[in-house]
Each structure stands twice: as structure tokens, then as C-alpha cells.
A and B are shown apart, each in its own frame.
Chain A
């Protein structure tokens, strides 16, 4: 796996405007059938942070991720990863799609799915070798389900399936991770495991952009947050931008109840 020279991790006075930000999004607009889904997105992600993308249903959270990854066409927008166009930097990016996006009845084992994470580094026409499977096994051990490697994936619980996806992303050995709702419908143990994993990735200087739906845990899990509702309502350190006023702007009238619940929970937990 090729490692490019990464900018030094020391404190940059203006991380938001760094040319070498893990991800810079300029003027991104995406439309389905001429109806804009997200527009005018301008973002620079700080390096080595856990960043939540938060917003109501239909706010374009997944769309934002997919547009950055060239999975859906953009009307406009320039995506740069560590200062270079996305296409040159694929090997630096790990992707955890939504769990429902694949068919879990597919005849593959957990280990085989995780091995797919290293396909990018194997290259065309080359077979999967023992060392690739060993790396996948290692990633499975890391997420705590090494003993389930041989299971067909439909015979795993929802939490275990999510761990398989995370293990696959780990096997990619990326610098920048896109995760689409990794916490959706997982058990408490898996949730803790995912958080521990995110922290570990952060300690290694990696950046994680995570679509997150549970407002109650945003402040505990993430140090940066992007509030999204078609446009970016606010983006920055959680302590600065994750407050009632911004949340109301993001969620509209439905917000106060949720926010109260969230605040209550946060106070209980801290």
C-alpha cells in the first residue's frame, strides 16, 4: 500500500483553510432530476478529528458522502483529498457504506467481505493471497469477531455485520474514512466497540467523517460536527457549533423536543 507524504500533524493556526486538509469541498451541488439535494457546500475538514455529519432525514448526508466519493454525479464542485483531486487519492480513503446497501444473503463469509477492503491494493488480474486474508483476519480480530470469520454474512447479527464493515475499512488502511451511519441499529456493545475504534483511528492521526443520527451522543463521540440541511448550517468544533440555535436552524420546528432529550441525556452521562 502506498503512503504519500502527509502534512505534519502539529497544530495549524488555520486548519479550516489548509490546502492540505484531508478533505476540501468547494462549491459542491448535487441534484436528482434537476431538484437540488445539497448545494453550495464549502468545507475543509481538519486533520485527525472525528467529525459528525448531522441533519434531518433527507438533508443529504449520505449524498454528501457519495458525491465526494464520485459515486453520484455532481452538478458542480471540486473535491480535494490532501490537496490533490479525489481520483488520485483513492488509496487514502476508506468507505463504510450503510449496512442496508448490500445484500447480506450474498454467498460470502465475513472474512471474504473484509478481504475486499484490500482489493484496491492487490490490483487487477492478481489473485487474493494468503497475506491478504491474514490482514483481513487481523482486522476482524481487532473489531472483536475474529472467531466469526468463516460465517456466511447473513448469519451474523446486525451489530456483527456492522463490525464486518468496519473491519473491512480498517483493512483498507486509509487516512480518511467516510462512514455512513455506522451506529444505526447496533447493540450497545457494538456501539462501544465502534467508539473505541474511532478513538484509536484518531490517535493514529486519521480523519473520520461519520454520518450520525443520534444527537444525544454527538457531543460525547465527536470533536467536530457538520450540521447539514441541504446547505451547511454550521460546521466547526462541537463545543462551538453544536448548540440549540444551530440545531433549530438545522431541524426546524421539530427540534426542541429532541434537543431537550439530548441535553438531558448528556447531563446524565457527564
Chain B
């Protein structure tokens, strides 16, 4: 098996996408709004197309802004429709994102007459090609260091998400668990909701360049859901979620390199295998998780011999 520098870059880009996605992903799972990631990742399509049609360039910054804005609009529209239209949230999400996605498809086909903007690429991404698209991010320091653009973009998004998580950790926690109490304490749960939705929108747009608009959902939700089965602490869940994202990226791409050689499969998609790998992790957690897995539940059902009382966590206990 041959492993090139390019392969390392692919894993690094995938791992960064995994970490960046796991942060908002964990909160989506906990708020039982996992499909919001799905909705946003589809709905950004018209944002991409509009940004292209308006500016006439495929410059990533304008595309990025257009997509992120439409992504945020998805969250806003969903909220409006469910509060004004007597429609439950899932349904209003379905209305908003399918409509926006359809508009996006029409626009892309329109745009494609002028330039290649491949719908397939938008849907499935091109993880394997990310190392080829390079930039020199430190040119302003006079350094010629050339590095994949996706690495720079996802690196920045990962840092931003980490910073937001650390800054607003307790606010995210309380507004996800008990939004009403949060609001009465002066932590506006609505604003926190939109901050989270902005994170989802920006992260989705950044990550789908690498893994595509469908597979980005896998990175948002699956590692977070896996982590949820394995822990009773939010901080651990966030760490595990990021960890599973990184592992899935590494294993997925490794399999993509390894499988064709061993089994002679002609062509394998790395992004596809990253998603499959995270699915396998999830399946393993469903089976083996100590408390919430099938095995754990089976073992817990046996009669208790010795009841072990929970020890208080009090740091001040003397």
C-alpha cells in the first residue's frame, strides 16, 4: 500500500471537518434538531448559485458568504413558519429546505451554462481533490508556504468553533437543556439558537467543499450521536464527538486507499468511506456502549448484587 503526503493532507482536512462539525453537531443532537444540519446543508445551494450569478466569479469568499447567509435564513424561515403557520418544526424545516434546494438546483443548472459548477460535486464533495487546490496563506508574511485551501478554511472554522464553544459553554449548555430558564436568567435562548444555527451554517458550507452537502450531515450528526451513547457528561460528549470525527476521517481514507489494493475495487470515494466508518462506529456504540448500548442494557437487567451508591461530586466536601 502506498501512502503519499497527499493522503495525509486528505486525512487532516477530513479530521478538521470532523472536529468543526462535532461541536455544533453535539448540540443539534441534544436539542433533537439533528435534521437542521440536513436542512441547512441542502438549503445553502441557492446561496452558492446566487453568489456566483451575482458576482460572476467562483471566488470562495463570496460563495461562502452567500451560502452561509442562506443557511442562516433557513433557520429563520423554519422558526417563522413553525411559529406563525401552526406547523410543527420538522415539517416547516422540510418546507423551507426542499424549496430552497429546488431553487438552488434551478439556479445551478442556469449557471452551469456559463461555467462548470457541478451539482454532483456539490452533493458528494471531492475530498480526494482537496490537496490539489492550494493557497499560500502566509504570503503577507513573505512566506511561500503552500497548503491546501480546504486545510486553511477548515482550520479557521475549527478554531472559531472551538473559541465560541469555550466562550459560550455554559450559555450553550443551559439554553440547550432549559431554554426557558436561560431566558429568565437573561441568557436569551433565541439568540443562542441563532448563534448555533450560524455555526451550523458556516461549518456546513466550509465542510461541504471537502465532503459534499450530504456527507457533511454524517460528520455533524453521527459522531455526536455515537458520543451521546457513551457518556453522561456534556464535556466528554463534545470531546468524544470530535474524536470520532477524527477517527472516522483517518479510518475512512485509509480504507479508501487500502480497499482497492486488497479487493481490487476500481474506485472508492474517501468521503463516502468516512461516512460509512462513522456509521460503523455508531453501530458499535449501539451494541457495546456500557450503559445505553444493547450489551449494557442486557447486563444491567441482571439482578443487582451490590448497590453502589453514587458518590457526591462536591468539591468542597470536608
Which of A's residues lie within 8 Å of B, judged by CB? Answer: 33, 66, 69-71, 90, 93, 95, 97, 101-103, 106-109, 111-113, 116, 119-120, 122, 124-125, 127-128, 130, 133-134, 137, 146-152, 168, 172
Question: Does B60 sit within 8 A of A, measured CB to CB?
Answer: no
Give, as a whole number of angstroms, the nearest-CB distance from B295 to chain A.
Answer: 19
CB neighbours of B312 from chain A (8 A): 137, 146-150
Q: Are A148 and B310 in contact (CB under 8 A)?
A: yes
CB neighbours of A101 from chain B (8 A): 178, 180
* Chain B 205-246 interface 0/1 with A at a Cβ cutoff of 8 Å (1 = within): 000000000000000000000001001111011000000000
Q: Are B167 and A120 in contact (CB under 8 A)?
A: no
Q: Are B184 and A108 in contact (CB under 8 A)?
A: no
Give, as a whole number of angstroms, the nearest-CB distance from B54 to chain A.
Answer: 36
Give, as a whole number of angstroms, the nearest-CB distance from A30 to chain B.
Answer: 15
At the interface with chain A, which of B148-156, B168-176, B247-255? B168-176
Give, as a whole number of angstroms, the nearest-CB distance from B291 to chain A.
Answer: 9
Q: Are B184 and A69 in contact (CB under 8 A)?
A: yes
CB neighbours of B182 from chain A (8 A): 119
Q: Are A95 and B32 in contact (CB under 8 A)?
A: no
Q: Are B316 and A134 in contact (CB under 8 A)?
A: yes
Q: Are B180 and A97 in contact (CB under 8 A)?
A: yes
CB neighbours of B236 from chain A (8 A): 107
Give, as a whole number of angstroms, the nearest-CB distance from B257 to chain A.
Answer: 36
Q: Are A70 and B313 in contact (CB under 8 A)?
A: no
Instruction: Contacts A97-B181, A103-B32, A116-B185 known; list 5 others, CB within 8 Å.
Output: A90-B184, A97-B178, A112-B173, A127-B169, A133-B314
CB neighbours of A124 from chain B (8 A): 171, 187
CB neighbours of B228 from chain A (8 A): 107
Q: Are B231 and A107 in contact (CB under 8 A)?
A: yes
Q: How many residues of B contact A (CB 8 A)?
A: 37
Q: Report the bound CA distance from A70 to B188 in whole Å.
A: 11
Which of B's residues lie within 8 Å of A, judged by CB? Answer: 30, 32, 86, 167-171, 173-174, 176-178, 180-187, 228, 231-234, 236-237, 309-317
Given known A134-B316, A146-B314, contact A95–B184 (CB-CB < 8 A): yes
A90: contacting residue among B177, B185, B232, CB under 8 A: B185
Q: Report the bound CA distance from A108 to B234 in whole Å.
A: 6
Q: Determine which residue in A69, A70, A116, A148 has the highest number of CB atoms from chain B within 10 A of its CB, and name it.
A: A116
Give, as a whole number of angstroms, the nearest-CB distance from B158 to chain A.
Answer: 20
Give, as a whole number of angstroms, the nearest-CB distance from B162 to chain A.
Answer: 15
CB neighbours of A71 from chain B (8 A): 180, 183-184
Q: Are A119 and B180 in contact (CB under 8 A)?
A: no
A66: contacting residue among B168, B180, B237, B317, CB under 8 A: B180
Closest to B233 in A: A107
Q: Are B310 and A107 in contact (CB under 8 A)?
A: no
Q: Determine which residue in B185, B234, B317 has the highest number of CB atoms from chain A within 10 A of its CB, and name it.
A: B185
Q: Are B30 and A106 in contact (CB under 8 A)?
A: yes
Q: Are A149 and B313 in contact (CB under 8 A)?
A: yes
Closest to A97 in B: B180
Closest to B183 in A: A71
Q: Are B237 and A107 in contact (CB under 8 A)?
A: yes
Closest to A145 in B: B312
Q: Could you list some 6 contacts between A and B, CB below 8 A?
A: A33-B86, A103-B32, A108-B234, A116-B177, A151-B310, A168-B181
